[in-house]
A and B are shown apart, each in its own frame.
Chain A
Amino acid sequence: MPDISRARTASVITVLIAMLICTFFLAWSLGPTKVPFTAFIPDDPSGMVDFVISALISAKDMSIVDFAPPFFPDPTAFLVIYGLRLPPRVIAAILVGAGLAAAGTAMQGLFRNSMADPYIIGTSAGGAFGAAVTIVFLGGLFLPLFAFFGAIGSTFMVYAIATRNGRASVETLLLTGIAISMFFSSILSFLMYSAGKSLHQIVFWLMGGFWNVSWNDVWLGLLIPVGGILLIFFARDLNILSLGEEDALHLGVNVEQFKRILLFVSSALTAVAVSIAGAIGFIGLITPHVMRLIVGPDHRILFPTSMLAGGFFLLLADTLARSFLGEMPVGVITSFVGAPFFIMLLRRRMRA
């Protein structure tokens, strides 16, 4: 890599991290309850550090409640900031955005098509089916789990159907993905039709949002950085695969094995994202697309930058939805902003 592009990459990553941090604090400070900035800062930082260290040494269980009265000026504001608002929701938005962007990048590379997205092989339809099943029959019990296994299951189904003699061609995967998506959509429509009172719950899930995010979702979401790092390991192979399968074979890539890894990791990423926040559209399609325009097509750089940008964009969208638009589903915003943007890119391609 020439030095110029290396410097450029470094500056793009720096800017993205800075933007992510700014949005993080913005998201943190905004909300229905007005909280003064002074409430963020502990009165007695050294006392708090001592407390944390002694608690760690004595292996005592710490709870967020232990911190508020002794160390912060306003206990109520403290609980709003650190207990309710910040942790699960803000972190989950970043993780889900990063996960969808990474999976989208992988799918676009695999399918050699910048119009591919993480849902292209039936992941979202399968997830939605799983979610609808538990909403209708079990009153929404274990919803994230059902969504996760629905999403993973449909991907495995697509792969199994598209495989013959141990090989799955990219074209067959794509077509099978469309067929399976339609199949699950039809079952979903039936479930919605017969859902009765719980219909609105399914509809809300489909729009995608972070209302019910809890710490458990964040723990699950920590799989996303793990998957992202795994994808970065394989970035060079993906560079080569994006030139075509036969070329990759001639250059020494074990194509079938690599495709299995890629499909599994990205569908797992998507499934985790979907189980946390529902089927949020356009993040996985647009983020890699935009980052490719900025940093070029090399997946070694594209994966980390797309993940940062995806986390940034989704957090921004969720903060907007939460603060100014009265808890609107975040999927509405991403698609509302995303679709015109997509059309703009399309027009630009037509001119080129």
Chain B
Amino acid sequence: MIDVDDLSAGYGGKDIIAEITFAAEKGEFVGIIGPNGSGKTTLLKAISRVLEISGGVVTLEGRTLADFGQKELAREVSVVPQETAMNFSYTVTDIVMMGRFPPHKERFAKDDPDDYRIVREAMEVTNVVHLKDRPVTDISGGERQRVIIARALAQQPKVILLDEATSHLDINHQVEILSIVRDLGETVTKIGVFHDLNLAAEFCDRIVLMSGGVAFVQSARLPRCSRWSACAMSTVSPRWSRPIRSPAGRLLCP
């Protein structure tokens, strides 16, 4: 589905992440964990093309991501950021509708019933229908994040990238939102950066550990106990001097 191959990227000519290789299968939920400064967000930004990549390649269903047009990319990949600035009081429906206009519609096309249906469905999935006419400036942080996820769904993407999408919410909302994301089904591939190891272990199918700009990847969907142990290991030894990997690329559990 989405293949990251030998990826390097960084800021101002200096690489933050180097030679990252992993793949996410269709419908999978991959969690990226690691200490601050390990390059988690940089990796996500390189995948979503906010950051210019300096080496390697990201492919989506065999096609290089760099070849996608901006609108085309928005039809395939949507991003849920940690926080979205809300300076103006758009209604919830306005915001979710933004998942339709640039990616799926021409400039002068009117919003048709299909768009309204898709927006409505996205809002149903994330449980924000009752807020549809409220200004986004007036709703709580958890509600706002669900609205942003609804917008991401309205883009009808194949891949959703979550950049610590729940980290400033309380635990109830974190669990609620991650459940929504996990239950999106097998059509959407989910890749999320996590700050909270417990949540990552609980919700993700697979874990990518980052440290000092390199990644250690679980090669297949593993049972929960193994995800937990991967997370546990990252707390025991937050900085590895070099990769602890078996020849198959399988993460060695302690």
Contacts and interface: CB of A to CB of B under 8 A. Distances in A.
Contact of A297 (B49, B89, B98, B99): B89
B70 A249 contact: yes
Interface stretch (B21-29, B80-88, B181-189): B80-88
B72 to A, nearest CB: 8
Interface in B37-82: 48-50, 70-75, 77-79, 81
Contacts of A298: 90, 94
A306 B79 CA distance: 33
Contact of B50 (A249, A296, A297): A249
A244 B88 CA distance: 11
B48 A250 contact: yes
Nearest to B133: A2
A183 B209 CA distance: 51
Chain A interface size range: 20 to 34
B102 A251 contact: yes
Interface in B72-118: 72-75, 77-79, 81, 84-91, 93-95, 98-99, 101-103, 107
B155 interface: yes
Contact of B87 (A114, A237, A251): A114
Contacts of A242: 87-88
A253 B85 contact: no
A292 B70 contact: no
A246 interface: yes
B101 A240 contact: yes
B87 A113 contact: yes
Contacts of A211: none
Contacts of A239: 90, 94, 98
A260 interface: no
A247 B84 contact: yes
A112 B74 contact: no
Contact of B70 (A112, A246, A254, A297): A254
Interface in B223-250: none
Nearest to B154: A251
A252 B102 CA distance: 6
A233 interface: yes
Interface in A209-255: 233, 236-237, 239-240, 242-244, 246-254
A243 B79 contact: no
B167 to A, nearest CB: 17
A250 B79 contact: yes
A199 to B, nearest CB: 41
B85 A243 contact: yes
Contacts of A297: 88-90
Contacts of A250: 48, 50, 74, 77-79, 81
A112 B137 CA distance: 14
A139 to B, nearest CB: 46
Given A246-B81, A252-B71, A237 B102 contact: yes
Contact of B84 (A237, A243, A254): A243
A252 B87 contact: no
Contacts of A243: 84-86, 95, 98
A246 B99 contact: no
B89 A252 contact: no
Contacts of B74: 250-252
B73 to A, nearest CB: 7
A228 B14 CA distance: 43
A249 B77 CA distance: 11
Contact of B107 (A112, A233, A249): A233
Nearest to B148: A247
Nearest to B83: A244
Task: With a 10 A CB-CB cut-off, give which of B48, B81, B102 has the most chain A CB atoms.
Answer: B102
A236 B85 contact: no
B81 A251 contact: no
Contact of A251 (B49, B50, B72, B99): B99
A251 B97 CA distance: 11
Interface in A241-293: 242-244, 246-254, 292
Contacts of B102: 236-237, 240, 248, 251-253
Nearest to B99: A251
Given A236-B107, A240-B101, A252 B85 contact: no
A244 B85 contact: yes
A320 B84 CA distance: 44
A247 B82 CA distance: 11
Nearest to A296: B89
Interface in A63-121: 112-114
A240 B85 CA distance: 11
B84 A251 contact: no
Interface of B: 48-50, 70-75, 77-79, 81, 84-91, 93-95, 98-99, 101-103, 107, 133, 151, 155
22 contacts: A112-B88, A114-B87, A114-B88, A236-B107, A237-B102, A239-B98, A242-B87, A243-B84, A243-B95, A246-B50, A246-B81, A249-B50, A250-B77, A250-B81, A251-B98, A251-B102, A251-B155, A252-B75, A253-B102, A296-B89, A296-B91, A297-B90
Given A233-B107, A252-B102, 6 more contacts: A2-B133, A246-B81, A250-B78, A251-B101, A251-B155, A252-B70
